[in-house]
Amino acid sequence: MRSRLTADDIEKAGAALACRALELPEIAGAATVAAYVSMGSEPGTHALREALRARGVRVLLPVLLDDDDLDWGEDEGPERLAPARRGLLEPEGPRLGPEAVTRADVVLLPGLAVDRRGMRLGRGGGSYDRVLARLVGAGAGPALVVLLYDGEVLDEVPEEGHDRPVHAAVTPSGLHRFTPRPR
Protein backbone atom coordinates (compact mmCIF):
# COMPACT_ATOMS: atom_id res chain seq x y z
CA MET A 1 0.00 0.00 0.00
CA ARG A 2 2.76 2.46 0.95
CA SER A 3 4.49 2.07 -2.41
CA ARG A 4 1.40 3.54 -4.15
CA LEU A 5 1.35 6.74 -2.08
CA THR A 6 2.24 10.05 -3.67
CA ALA A 7 4.19 12.80 -1.91
CA ASP A 8 0.89 14.68 -1.55
CA ASP A 9 -0.76 11.62 0.06
CA ILE A 10 2.11 11.35 2.55
CA GLU A 11 1.96 15.07 3.40
CA LYS A 12 -1.83 15.03 3.91
CA ALA A 13 -1.63 11.90 6.05
CA GLY A 14 1.17 13.47 8.09
CA ALA A 15 -0.92 16.57 8.79
CA ALA A 16 -3.89 14.44 9.88
CA LEU A 17 -1.57 12.22 11.93
CA ALA A 18 -0.20 15.28 13.74
CA CYS A 19 -3.72 16.44 14.68
CA ARG A 20 -4.62 12.98 15.98
CA ALA A 21 -1.35 12.53 17.86
CA LEU A 22 -1.76 15.84 19.66
CA GLU A 23 -5.13 14.58 20.97
CA LEU A 24 -3.37 11.77 22.85
CA PRO A 25 -3.07 13.00 26.48
CA GLU A 26 0.39 11.48 26.87
CA ILE A 27 1.68 13.52 23.93
CA ALA A 28 -0.32 16.65 24.80
CA GLY A 29 1.22 16.72 28.27
CA ALA A 30 4.77 15.65 27.38
CA ALA A 31 7.82 17.78 28.12
CA THR A 32 10.16 15.56 26.07
CA VAL A 33 9.24 13.40 23.09
CA ALA A 34 11.64 11.06 21.30
CA ALA A 35 10.52 11.19 17.67
CA TYR A 36 12.09 10.42 14.30
CA VAL A 37 12.38 11.98 10.87
CA SER A 38 10.14 10.02 8.52
CA MET A 39 11.63 8.82 5.27
CA GLY A 40 10.27 7.54 2.00
CA SER A 41 6.67 6.42 2.27
CA GLU A 42 6.56 6.35 6.09
CA PRO A 43 3.77 8.42 7.63
CA GLY A 44 5.10 11.98 7.72
CA THR A 45 6.41 13.24 11.05
CA HIS A 46 7.32 16.80 10.00
CA ALA A 47 4.00 18.43 10.98
CA LEU A 48 3.93 16.64 14.34
CA ARG A 49 7.52 17.55 15.19
CA GLU A 50 6.90 21.19 14.25
CA ALA A 51 3.71 21.32 16.35
CA LEU A 52 5.50 19.80 19.35
CA ARG A 53 8.41 22.23 19.09
CA ALA A 54 5.97 25.16 18.72
CA ARG A 55 4.42 24.08 22.04
CA GLY A 56 7.82 24.16 23.72
CA VAL A 57 8.25 20.39 23.82
CA ARG A 58 11.82 19.13 23.66
CA VAL A 59 11.97 16.76 20.68
CA LEU A 60 14.77 14.21 20.46
CA LEU A 61 15.73 12.63 17.15
CA PRO A 62 17.73 9.45 16.60
CA VAL A 63 21.26 9.29 15.25
CA LEU A 64 22.15 5.91 13.74
CA LEU A 65 25.41 4.55 15.14
CA ASP A 66 27.77 2.23 13.26
CA ASP A 67 26.40 -0.80 15.16
CA ASP A 68 22.80 0.24 14.30
CA ASP A 69 22.08 1.34 17.87
CA LEU A 70 20.68 4.83 18.31
CA ASP A 71 22.20 7.92 19.87
CA TRP A 72 20.01 11.03 20.19
CA GLY A 73 20.17 14.73 19.39
CA GLU A 74 17.74 17.59 19.81
CA ASP A 75 15.42 18.56 16.96
CA GLU A 76 16.25 22.19 16.16
CA GLY A 77 14.13 22.32 13.02
CA PRO A 78 14.38 21.06 9.44
CA GLU A 79 17.20 23.46 8.56
CA ARG A 80 19.39 21.73 11.20
CA LEU A 81 19.01 18.21 9.77
CA ALA A 82 21.84 16.62 7.82
CA PRO A 83 21.92 13.63 5.46
CA ALA A 84 23.25 10.45 7.06
CA ARG A 85 23.64 6.74 6.35
CA ARG A 86 20.75 4.81 4.79
CA GLY A 87 19.11 7.98 3.49
CA LEU A 88 18.27 9.21 6.98
CA LEU A 89 18.22 12.81 8.17
CA GLU A 90 19.80 13.42 11.57
CA PRO A 91 20.13 16.43 13.87
CA GLU A 92 23.36 18.40 13.44
CA GLY A 93 23.71 19.42 17.10
CA PRO A 94 25.49 17.71 19.98
CA ARG A 95 24.98 14.01 20.66
CA LEU A 96 23.17 13.29 23.92
CA GLY A 97 24.03 9.60 24.25
CA PRO A 98 21.94 6.45 23.77
CA GLU A 99 20.50 6.81 27.30
CA ALA A 100 18.88 10.20 26.51
CA VAL A 101 15.77 8.34 25.35
CA THR A 102 15.21 7.05 28.90
CA ARG A 103 14.28 10.59 29.96
CA ALA A 104 11.53 11.00 27.34
CA ASP A 105 7.87 11.11 28.36
CA VAL A 106 6.81 9.64 25.01
CA VAL A 107 8.71 7.58 22.43
CA LEU A 108 7.29 7.70 18.91
CA LEU A 109 8.16 4.56 16.98
CA PRO A 110 8.19 3.84 13.27
CA GLY A 111 6.58 0.62 12.13
CA LEU A 112 4.89 -1.23 9.33
CA ALA A 113 1.93 -2.47 11.37
CA VAL A 114 0.69 -3.13 14.89
CA ASP A 115 -1.73 -5.73 16.12
CA ARG A 116 -4.62 -5.57 18.57
CA ARG A 117 -2.26 -6.65 21.38
CA GLY A 118 0.06 -3.70 20.72
CA MET A 119 2.80 -5.78 19.11
CA ARG A 120 4.64 -3.62 16.56
CA LEU A 121 6.08 -4.91 13.32
CA GLY A 122 9.25 -2.92 12.64
CA ARG A 123 11.45 -2.77 9.59
CA GLY A 124 13.82 -5.48 10.80
CA GLY A 125 16.94 -3.46 11.60
CA GLY A 126 16.68 -3.91 15.37
CA SER A 127 17.52 -0.29 16.27
CA TYR A 128 14.22 0.31 18.04
CA ASP A 129 14.30 -3.14 19.66
CA ARG A 130 17.50 -1.93 21.35
CA VAL A 131 15.80 1.31 22.39
CA LEU A 132 12.88 -0.60 23.91
CA ALA A 133 15.26 -2.93 25.76
CA ARG A 134 17.21 0.11 27.02
CA LEU A 135 14.00 1.62 28.38
CA VAL A 136 13.13 -1.59 30.22
CA GLY A 137 16.68 -1.90 31.57
CA ALA A 138 16.58 1.66 32.90
CA GLY A 139 13.17 1.20 34.48
CA ALA A 140 11.87 4.04 32.31
CA GLY A 141 8.18 4.11 31.53
CA PRO A 142 7.49 6.47 28.63
CA ALA A 143 4.35 6.08 26.57
CA LEU A 144 5.25 4.02 23.49
CA VAL A 145 3.33 5.17 20.42
CA VAL A 146 3.65 3.84 16.86
CA LEU A 147 2.73 6.09 13.91
CA LEU A 148 0.95 4.29 11.08
CA TYR A 149 -1.44 4.70 8.18
CA ASP A 150 -5.07 3.65 8.34
CA GLY A 151 -5.34 -0.06 7.60
CA GLU A 152 -2.06 -0.93 9.36
CA VAL A 153 -3.68 -1.91 12.67
CA LEU A 154 -4.09 -5.65 12.13
CA ASP A 155 -5.47 -8.59 14.07
CA GLU A 156 -2.01 -10.13 14.50
CA VAL A 157 1.61 -9.54 13.48
CA PRO A 158 4.58 -11.89 13.95
CA GLU A 159 6.21 -11.69 17.36
CA GLU A 160 9.64 -12.70 18.63
CA GLY A 161 10.81 -13.09 22.21
CA HIS A 162 12.57 -9.70 22.32
CA ASP A 163 9.57 -7.76 21.01
CA ARG A 164 7.88 -5.28 23.33
CA PRO A 165 4.29 -4.05 22.98
CA VAL A 166 3.39 -0.41 22.47
CA HIS A 167 0.71 1.48 24.36
CA ALA A 168 -0.95 3.19 21.41
CA ALA A 169 -1.00 3.64 17.66
CA VAL A 170 -1.91 6.86 15.91
CA THR A 171 -3.28 6.80 12.38
CA PRO A 172 -4.62 9.72 10.32
CA SER A 173 -8.19 8.78 11.24
CA GLY A 174 -7.85 7.71 14.85
CA LEU A 175 -6.17 6.67 18.06
CA HIS A 176 -5.83 3.03 19.03
CA ARG A 177 -4.97 2.07 22.62
CA PHE A 178 -3.57 -1.24 23.76
CA THR A 179 -3.11 -2.80 27.16
CA PRO A 180 0.38 -4.28 26.97
CA ARG A 181 0.51 -7.64 28.64
CA PRO A 182 3.22 -8.32 31.23
CA ARG A 183 6.40 -9.92 29.95
pLDDT class for 180, splitting at 50, 70, 90?
A: low
What are the φ/ψ torsions at residue 112 (nearest 5 degrees)? -105, -25
State the binding site. Answer: 37, 42, 120-128
More confident of the two residues 88 and 182: 88
Q: Model confidence over 79-111: pLDDT tens digits?
A: 999 999 888 999 999 999 999 999 999 999 999
pLDDT tens digits for 118-155?
999 988 788 999 999 999 999 999 999 999 999 999 99
Cite the annotated binding site for ATP by residue number.
120-128
CA distance 167 to 119: 9
CB 17 within 8 A of CB 175: no
The CATH homologous superfamily for domain 2-177 is NagB/RpiA/CoA transferase-like (3.40.50.10420)
Would you say 90 and 61 are in contact if contact means Cβ atoms under 8 Å apart?
A: yes
**Would you state the pLDDT for residue 182?**
53
Q: Is the pLDDT of residue 181 over 60?
A: no
Report the alpha-carbon distance of residue 142 to residue 145 in Å, rounded: 9
Would the pLDDT of 69 be above 90? yes
Backbone angles phi, psi at 93, to 5 degrees: -70, -170
Question: What is the average pLDDT score of the chain?
Answer: 94
DSSP code for 112: S
Instruction: Identify the pLDDT of residue 104.
Output: 98
- Report residue 99: phi and psi, to 5°: -80, -10
CA nearest to 47, candidates 73, 25, 8, 16: 16
Residue 130 near residue 169 (C-beta atoms within 8 A): no
- In degrees, rounded to 5, the angle at the alpha carbon of residue 50 between the alpha carbons of residues 49 and 53 is 85
CB contact at 8 A, 89 and 98: no
- Binding-site residues from annotation for substrate: 37, 42
Percentage with pLDDT > 70 across the chain: 98
Question: Structure pTM?
Answer: 0.94
